[in-house]
Amino acid sequence: MLHGVDAAYQPTFENAFEYCLPEYRDALKSSLLQAIDQGNEWQCKFDVQLSDGSRKRVKAEGRPIVEGGHVTAFMGCFEELDAQVNFPLCSPATPVAIEARMRELFELRAIIDEAAIFSVSDKHGKILSANQNLIEISGYSEDELLGHSHNIMNSGFHGPEFFARMWEKIASGEVWRGEICNKNKSGDLLWFDTIIYPVLDQNGQPDRFLSLRLDITEKVQSSHLVSEFFDVSNSPSFVLDGRGYLRRVNEAFCGSLGYSSSDLMHTPLLNLIKPEERHAATDAFRKIVVGRPGASLEFTCLHASGAERVLTFRANRFEGQIFGSAVDVTEEFERKKSLQQAKQAAIEANQSKSAFLANMSHEIRTPLNAIIGVADVLSRDQHLENHQRELVDMIYDAGSMLEGLLTDILDLSKIEAGKLKLEETTFLPMEEVRSALRLHMLRAQEHGVFFACTEDMAEGVQLVGDPLRLRQIISNLASNAVKFTEKGSIQVHAAVKMNEALPILELYIQDTGIGFPVETAGEVFERFEQSRSSDTRVFGGTGLGLAISSSLARDMGGSLRVRSKPGAGTRFDLSIPFVVAPSKTTLKEAVKSDATVPDLSTKKILVAEDSMVNQKVLRLVLRPTQCDIVFVENGEEAVRAFQEAERAFDLVLMDMRMPKMNGHDAVKLIRSFEVRNALVPTPIIMVSANAMGHNVQEAMQAGCNTHIAKPIRQKTLFAEIARFLPDPG
């Protein structure tokens, strides 16, 4: 009647909007769809146009019918806001109007019967009519219901004050809504979401009551189960209203933060979160409110004691509330924090160690450069008497041993950091074996120990691998054998065997020394370990050699094994695979020519070195080449000398650590000067006591052609110079 259509008219969702004025339709449809989607109650005011062309302003309101967590229907009513035509349930009316409106209501009853449980009561609460849904769900017949009050279904769940408040409201003409627990004829409890509409007489007093019920028994039972689980759950759980206020908490939640339930009720959850994190928490919970829950949310909460607890929250929105749980991850958080701190401390300690090693390397190599460099030059003097040569050899050997210890320490650092790089060069295996054993054979003979080496490989066999590391392993093994063998013999056997076309170098060193118990065999490969603690005092050494040798062998794809017995000596077995070199044309010639002194009589070399001792060493080392040498003491002088030279330099030897300007910066300025003036790049060799891997890389990045580590060997320096300044002869 309100819309002016026939009573038989059946509205659909689409044609229900036909009577709305066009300007209202989109907004009306959008707001209603949003309410259905979110399961919210809905209310809206708008104008409608009746079938006769007249207009009315109405208020529509409704609520969703939720079954199984989903909206299955939407129930509502219209209220006419026009002052001349009042809404029948809320406005005074004449008996004729009441009768007409009652007819309208009963016409709508068929529709209501399909969606709800419906009854009409008189002003005293006596049931005048009940639809089939009420008859079926209550278990009472229509005759048993009519003429009786709804007390026939009273479950006793609600107290007198509950019904007193309800009657007070509907007696005043207001609509009442609430959840009521009834009991059917069989004694089963039934829960209804109930709306009671008063029908007013001409005096504005309630004359009838229309009751609409929705069966929510399953929902309430599920809610009660959830509630029971909620209360006994060991997981901290909570319920928030739409504003973020706590409406319910369980004991676990209270216990996790040290509060009582009464302390927390009606308190914003944000108040429990650390102030610095509240903005992020607000954004996260706002997403949940609009139905977009995210992943677990971790926040620092404030315990009643003032301590901080880290909780991980999960929450979801359901029927206007937010149900959530929390997990106290404080201990895990602290463990992670401790691990991060330990990791950072380890990184800083490693950086400090690296800085220390780099500095130690520089400081030790600087004087070593003088010791070994001078001894190397003197050892080539053909005019030395025998006792003088012995003294020079002693100086050279002692310096080499000290350099070896320094190399061991630096190699250990590289191995620990996983930054040890292996070279891939062609070499003659027998030359490397003999070179590694030569010094140790002399030392053994000096102590009266027989030292012999046998070979089982062709003289010209060439392999590809890292000859420096191979020599290092063999030298460490030989040094160990000489150190722990006071009498008897040391036997070495080396062979290259083909294994499925892959050559394997096999070598063993057998001594008749002191040996060690078999149960301590594994310890000799541990860092800083020797078979007995007293060995260090008696025999010396750092305990690094075998550990490094074992790691090197493993990194090269091989193995190092040991067998020993106290008093019966020790045997080490080394096995390393290599690759056969593709060509054998020039290696022997290169080996034979390593000691050749280049003719640099027409060359001019710039040497940047701040140490007067090292300047003298370089002058001594380069003297046989007859080159013209210009010395400067820092990077600034080197750049100035290079730029102002009347005759261009053919080669630059650059130290790295110098006052005023370091070698890197000096090289960069020299390269920049060459580019600006379109000059051919001059070969620059970094000659530095900074010999760690990153130092070499930094030198190359600065613009150097190569890097030579101090102490300088004449043979090594001459070989590098020959690469860039070929002998004119």
Where residue 555 sits, what CATH number does that domain have? 3.30.565.10
Same domain, 75 and 136: no
Residue 487 belongs to a domain? yes
Residue 427 belongs to a domain? yes
* The pLDDT value given to residue 630: 95
- Domains identified in the chain, total number: 5
Residue recorded with tokens 């009442």: 176
Q: Which domain holds residue 29?
A: 22-80
* The pLDDT value given to residue 100: 56
Same domain, 440 and 553: yes
* The pLDDT value given to residue 541: 46
Same domain, 436 and 409: no
Beta-carbon-side half-sphere exposure of residue 581 (alpha carbons within 13 Å): 19
Q: With left for phi above 0 and alpha for psi between -120 and 50, is residue 319 left, alpha or beta? A: left
Same domain, 554 and 658: no
Same domain, 30 and 64: yes
Same domain, 137 and 53: no
Which domain-ending residue is among 381, 415, 449? 415
Please, which residues have CB within 8 angstroms of residue 102's CB and are 6 or more apart in sequence? 199, 208
Residue 594 belongs to a domain? no
Token representation of residue 5: 């259509």
Low-confidence ranges of the chain (pLDDT < 70): 1-16, 66-72, 82-115, 221-233, 289-295, 319, 401, 404-405, 408-409, 411-420, 459, 500-501, 518-543, 583-595, 691-693, 727-729
Beta-carbon-side half-sphere exposure of residue 550 (alpha carbons within 13 Å): 15
The Cα 131–Cα 29 span in angstroms is: 31
Same domain, 647 and 681: yes
Residue 643 belongs to a domain? yes
Contact 94, 123 (CB under 8 A): no
Same domain, 575 and 716: no
Closest CA to 180 of 172, 171, 167: 167
* The pLDDT value given to residue 84: 41
Same domain, 695 and 560: no
Which domain-ending residue is among 206, 221, 236? 221
CATH number for position 633: 3.40.50.2300
The Cα 373–Cα 659 span in angstroms is: 23
Same domain, 410 and 431: no
Contact 429, 506 (CB under 8 A): no
Same domain, 555 and 626: no
Summarised one tens digit per residue, pLDDT across range 459-497 is 678 888 888 889 889 988 998 899 889 999 999 999 998
Closest CA to 555 of 468, 433, 679, 488: 468
Residue 128 belongs to a domain? yes
Contact 258, 305 (CB under 8 A): yes
* The pLDDT value given to residue 446: 85
Whole-structure pTM value: 0.42
Residue 297 belongs to a domain? no
CATH number for position 135: 3.30.450.20
Same domain, 34 and 167: no
Query: Strand order of the sheet with strand 569-577?
Result: 450-456, 489-499, 502-511, 569-577, 559-565
Residue 312 belongs to a domain? no
Which domain-ending residue is among 415, 439, 473? 415
